Amino acid sequence: MEKLPSVMISMSHSDPVTFRQIPVIQQIIRDETWLEGERRGCFVPSNDPVVREHVCQVILRIGRDLRETLMAEMAAPPGRAMIPIRISEDDRAA
């Protein structure tokens, strides 16, 4: 497991959502590192500039949804899972 920069550790104490995002970000880094290694056909370190760029693009794309999801999980009563429910137009009219 990669060592986290001290800045990220100190931020986690002031913002619990940031702390909960860390495992997701670590998985994104692992996935993008693996994908870039597959593209090139050789080992690629996780701090490779192309990997970093792709990780940033993914986080920018999903960041708001990830934060909102984690905040909703934290606000939910303990022991209950948040399940998204979609209501069809037919059900709303009834």
Determine contact, residues 66/21, Cβ cutoff 8 Å: yes
Give the whole-angstrom CA distance, residue 93 versus residue 66: 31
Determine contact, residues 38/88, Cβ cutoff 8 Å: no
For position 1, what pLDDT does the model report?
47
For position 12, what pLDDT does the model report?
44
Domain map (residue ranges) of the chain: 6-93
pLDDT > 60? residue 53: yes
For position 94, what pLDDT does the model report?
46
Over residues 20-48, the pLDDT tens digits come to: 888 999 999 999 999 999 999 999 999 99
Determine contact, residues 30/54, Cβ cutoff 8 Å: no
